[in-house]
Amino acid sequence: MAQARVAILPIPSAGHIKSTLEMAKLLHRYHFSVTVLVVPLPNYPVGDYIATIAATGLDINFWHIQPVDPPKGADGPEDFITAYMEKQNHHIKSALHDLLRSDDAPLAALIVDLFATGAIDVAAELGVPCYVHFASNAAFLALMLYLPTLEEKFPEEFEEMEEEVRVPGVCPIPPISMPSPFMRKKSGRYTCFVHHGRRYSELKGIVVNTFTDLEPATLRALEEGLCAPGRRTPPVYPVGPLIAREDSEKNRQHECVVWLDGQPARSVAFLCFGSGGCFNAAQVGEIAAGLERSGCRFLWALRVASEEEVYGRRKPADAKLEEVLPEGFLERTKARGMVWPSWAPQVEILAHRSVGGFVTHCGWNSCLESLQCGVPLLGWPLYAEQHSNAVVMEEEMGVALQLKVERANGNFVKAEELERGVRALMGESEEGRRVRAKAEEMMAAAKKAWEDGGSSFVNMEALVHALLAK
């Protein structure tokens, strides 16, 4: 029998749900019964992720929350999802109330997504300890906690600052590389982050998908309370890397993986941009030209922008290669490259012996998946906190290089810049050798973190103790 039950509240977002379900599986390993509160969102199906976990037979239950009308007048995706989750509070309270009355294991805690701080009030009303599962890195957590302080110190727009943005425990961040929601301070996107950063002081704890050797200075600053001056910093539990492993026979026989089987070790640059990354025709042409001129082997998972929007962003669609690629490109590069026009099994690809570099949007799940395999990164940030992630991955962690992105032009990257970046990542330059060595070092550190006595192992034991103490 489970020693206690934990309820988890993710937002309906692919990256957040993947990370949350890995957290659910981890809690199950520690003999907790887990109930995931599934919040529906029109036109955003999450059934595939849920079905994958349900098929494992683990003691993880899914409680489907009733839909509500989407909020009107939201200013961007972050403002929308914050308001949408708050509109769900009545249904969340009802679900928690039923769990508290259940004869099953006692409810030890509610663990909510970083955007669902409205549920803190629901948990407090019912006497349930509330934690946040922070699906990004410790650097972004530090930035969120420090954001109210930055707002007081620098009321002007970040782009107007002449100096770099300094957050305790984090490398200096150029103002132009601040997260996308922070670039207009009068927007609801920005103010909702200030709001969440303040509310974190009310939490019982924050569970972060990172590990100590990857972000030691940042985690130390968080532990010392330096990132929330004048406010309480709850205990922070780095228990990463938590990575969804899609190790199925179907994925191992995927055409991309089969193609990689025929390539030399560590010779292929893999280009993939997450569940939300997509490009217009002009950018596709620049990528093709840059890859062709680089002379490097490549595997490119190409998705294009559709007319449909989710959270205010264009939804990716499968590409029709003959329509979007330059004429003759596939024929000229067929001996050393492959373009895949749909979803690709990223975890299996990054783990393949032939992959030597990863051109990525710097979404945190993708970064961890790459480091778990010892693959260095070339950052091409697109949205959310990815621009600051790219800086931290290069300057703080030393596992990545960055492309020069024209942020004011939709994060456009020219062909010659991609050519330069891919050659630097895959070639024998000093910077290429440096990031490859650091990525391999972090691969070993990630494995060690979950060995008996490792940092994430110890932090998880502390979290379990806190959950049971209530």
Q: List phi, psi (to 5°) of 355.
A: -85, 125
User: Whole-angstrom Cα distance, residue 110 to residue 122?
Assistant: 10
- Fill in the amino acid letter for 70: P
C-alpha 336: how far from chain center? 30
Q: Which helix (H) or strand (E) holds 62?
A: strand 60-64
User: Whole-angstrom Cα distance, residue 458 to residue 144?
Assistant: 25
The candidate with the shortest Cα–Cα distance to 113, out of 94, 134, 144, 89, is 134
Q: How far apart are the first and last CA of the chain?
A: 19
- Sequence-separated (6 or more) residues with CB below 8 Å from residue 241: 209, 210, 211, 368, 371, 372, 446, 449, 456
Q: Directed axis angle between helix 89-101 and helix 119-126, to 10°?
A: 30
Residue identified by tokens 């806190």 is 466
Task: Say if residue 216 is preceded by a cis peptide, omega within 30 of 0.
Answer: no
Beta-carbon neighbour count of residue 43 at 10 Å? 8
Would you call 199 exposed, middle or buried from its count of C-beta atoms within 10 A (0-12, 13-18, 19+)? Answer: middle
Active-site choice (59, 75, 113, 213) = 113
Question: Between vectors from CA 173 to CA 170 and to CA 179, what angle results, nearest 5°?
Answer: 100
User: Whole-angstrom Cα distance, residue 20 to residue 265?
Assistant: 33
The candidate with the shortest Cα–Cα distance to 167, out of 175, 156, 159, is 175
Give the HSE-up count for residue 299: Cα atoms under 13 Å, Cβ half-sphere: 28
- Sequence-separated (6 or more) residues with CB below 8 Å from residue 66: 40, 91
**Is residue 16 annotated as part of the catalytic site, yes or no?**
yes
- Beta-bridge partners for 299: 270, 338
Q: H helices within 280-326, ranges in order?
A: 281-294, 321-324
User: Whole-angstrom Cα distance, residue 383 to residue 398?
Assistant: 21
Q: Are 213 and 445 in contact (CB under 8 A)?
A: yes
**Is residue 48 annotated as part of the catalytic site, yes or no?**
no
Active-site choice (16, 28, 196, 361) = 16
The candidate with the shortest Cα–Cα distance to 113, out of 8, 229, 218, is 8
Q: Which residues are catalytic?
A: 16, 113
